[in-house]
Structure 1
Amino acid sequence: MKRFLLAAAMAVLGTVAAQAADLAAHYTKAPMMAAAYNWTGFYVGGNVGGQWGSADAATTTLDPPVAYFANSSVPAIAAVGAQHVNSSSVTGGLTAGYNWQVNSAVFGLEGDINYFGFKGSATGSALYPCCAPTGFTVNSQVSADWLATIRGRIGFLATPSWLIYATGGAAIADVKGNFNFSDTFAAATESGAIRDTRVGWTAGVGGEYAVGNGWSLKAEYLYVDLGRASMTSNNLVAGGPLPAQTFTHSFDIKSNIVRIGVNYKFGGPVVARY
């Protein structure tokens, strides 16, 4: 009887030991942590795209007491001098900025300087109402080589890697305009030139996707309005100088810009997520 009990006890102990060994051999790993992209930090980048826009140019003259023009010529010159200039070109340049991420919101400040390539001209002619068949011609040329913007950005994260944003701020450009008036009545000529650093405004929307290791790709649309630049001249010549005759020349520039770009963010925290 004692031998039977001893054998039974040894069998039970063996079974328990085997089960304990099986339990010790099986375990579950903790879930691995994955690094989520964090948008906070300083970044630099480049962009390339296209711009299409227009300029409304104007040439007018006054009717002083001692005038070269007949009364009916003044509104005729204004009508021909109201000219529309179109422009389209490739644009591209450099970008730098800083982002702050707060949960799913991203706030930023961004600046860029780009080749703008705005350039266009227009010409119009008409007969003098008083003095046909003699007439006059007005020519306008408008250009802006470069464009810089300083903008705020505010956006939200559709996913941790996908940012949708709106942007707006100041637009700065060196604008140039050249104007010429001539006629066939007395071979009269007049000219005016404008060069001005204009500060206007810009606004737009965009999307940016983080591809990892600090790199991101973006697509963006901006509308730019540089306001109106103007000047006056008293250099009409018709058989001799006529300084009493005042001309006014002016133009504005408005443009649409669509561009793509790549940014690289330096450092910044990486947030762990499961």
Structure 2
Amino acid sequence: MNKFLLAAASVVLGTASVQAADLAAHYTKAPVMAPVYNWTGFYVGGNVGGQWGSANPATTTLFPVAAYFADSSVTAIGTVGAQHINSSGVTGGFTAGYNWQVNNAVLGLEGDINYFGFKGSASSTAVYPCCAPTTFTVNSSVSADWLATIRGRIGFLATPSWLIYATGGAAIAEVRGNFSFTDTFAGATESGAIRDTRVGWTAGVGGEYAVGNGWSLKAEYLYVDLGRSSMTSNNFNVGVALPAQTFTHSVDLKSNIVRVGVNYKFGGPVVARY
């Protein structure tokens, strides 16, 4: 009986020792830290897209000063001189900016300069109400080769890598307009030109996705309004100069821009996530 008890005790003690050894051999690995993109930092990039917009050039003259135009002719010139031009084309350029990430909010300041490619013209002819069948013609052309913007951005992170933002600020472009007036009554001529670096406004929305290693892809829409610019001329000529007859020319320019781009962010912290 004693021998049996000794044997049983030996088996129990041996089993406990093996279990203790097994328990000592087990361990838990520390969780792997996954890097999370942080948007804080300076970035540069490029973009390409399309623009479509319109300009509304206008030509008017004063009521008879030099005794050439009838009152009805002045009114008709203003009506015919109110023209409309549509333009569309490819746009693209370079971007630079800085972001500050605060929790799930991202604040930023961004600037860009782009090829704009706005260009169009209009021509209208009408009969003088007083003096049919003689006619007059108003020609207008409008262009803007480049566009720059300086904008603030404010957004939130839908995910750590996906930024949705609104943006707005100043839009700058050199707007050029060329105008001419001619008629068949006495071969009258007049012309004017506008060269004006306009400061208007822009606003839009966009989304940007971080693909890693500092790179991100974006898509955005901007609306641009450059306001109206005008000039006057006193070079009216009917074989002899009539400088008292003043013409006024003006133009506004508005555009919609849709573009995609790629940015590269320099440095900036990377936050660990378990």
Matched, 1:232 2:232: yes
On the 8 A contact 1:188/1:238 being kept in 2, the answer is yes
Q: Which residue of 1 aligns with 2:121?
A: 121
* CA deviations over 1:88-108 (Å, ceiling 9, x no partner): 010000000001111111110
Matched, 1:177 2:177: yes
* CA deviations over 1:211-262 (Å, ceiling 9, x no partner): 1111100000000000001000000110111101000000000000000000
1:4, distance to aligned residue in structure 2 (A): 5.4
* CA deviations over 1:120-157 (Å, ceiling 9, x no partner): 00000101111111010000000000000000000111
On the 8 A contact 1:64/1:244 being kept in 2, the answer is no
Q: Which residue of 1 aligns with 2:103?
A: 103
Q: Secondary structure of the residue that 1:38 maps to in structure 2?
A: coil
Q: Give the fraction of aligned pairs with identical amino acids, expressed as a percent.
A: 84
Find the aligned partners of 1:29 and 1:22 in 2 and give their Cα distance. 17
Find the aligned partners of 1:258 and 1:4 in 2 and give their Cα distance. 90
On the 8 A contact 2:66/2:242 being kept in 1, the answer is no
On the 8 A contact 1:142/1:176 being kept in 2, the answer is yes
Gaps of 5+ in 2: none
1:5, distance to aligned residue in structure 2 (A): 5.5
Matched, 1:77 2:77: yes
On the 8 A contact 2:200/2:226 being kept in 1, the answer is yes
Letter in 1 for 2:202: T
Find the aligned partners of 2:58 and 2:124 in 1 and give their Cα distance. 11
1:16, distance to aligned residue in structure 2 (A): 1.9
Q: Which residue of 1 aligns with 2:150?
A: 150
How many residue pairs get matched? Answer: 274
1:9, distance to aligned residue in structure 2 (A): 4.2
Moved more, 21-30 or 234-243: 21-30
Find the aligned partners of 1:168 and 1:204 in 2 and give their Cα distance. 6
On the 8 A contact 1:96/1:111 being kept in 2, the answer is yes
Find the aligned partners of 2:43 and 2:90 in 1 and give their Cα distance. 24
1:8, distance to aligned residue in structure 2 (A): 4.3
On the 8 A contact 1:230/1:249 being kept in 2, the answer is yes
Q: Secondary structure of the residue that 2:79 maps to in structure 1?
A: helix
Q: How does 1:8-27 map to 2 (within 5 A)?
A: 8-27=8-27
Which consecutive segments of 4 or more residues in structure 1 shift more than 4 A?
1-9
Q: How does 1:1-274 map to 2 (within 5 A)?
A: 6-274=6-274
Q: Secondary structure of the residue that 2:145 maps to in structure 1?
A: strand
On the 8 A contact 1:67/1:244 being kept in 2, the answer is no
Letter in 2 for 1:12: V
Gaps of 5+ in 1: none
Moved more, 187-196 or 8-17: 8-17
1:11, distance to aligned residue in structure 2 (A): 3.0
On the 8 A contact 1:166/1:205 being kept in 2, the answer is yes
Letter in 1 for 2:149: T
Find the aligned partners of 1:171 and 1:239 in 2 and give their Cα distance. 43
Letter in 1 for 2:140: S
Find the aligned partners of 2:141 and 2:267 in 1 and give their Cα distance. 47
Q: Secondary structure of the residue that 1:179 maps to in structure 2?
A: strand
Q: Secondary structure of the residue that 1:83 maps to in structure 2?
A: coil
1:20, distance to aligned residue in structure 2 (A): 1.2
For normalisation by structure 1, the TM-score amounts to: 0.97
Letter in 1 for 2:199: V
For normalisation by structure 2, the TM-score amounts to: 0.97
Find the aligned partners of 1:67 and 1:157 in 2 and give their Cα distance. 68
Letter in 1 for 2:249: H
Q: Secondary structure of the residue that 2:56 maps to in structure 1?
A: strand
Find the aligned partners of 2:24 and 2:65 in 1 and give their Cα distance. 110
* CA deviations over 1:3-31 (Å, ceiling 9, x no partner): 65654444333222211111122222222
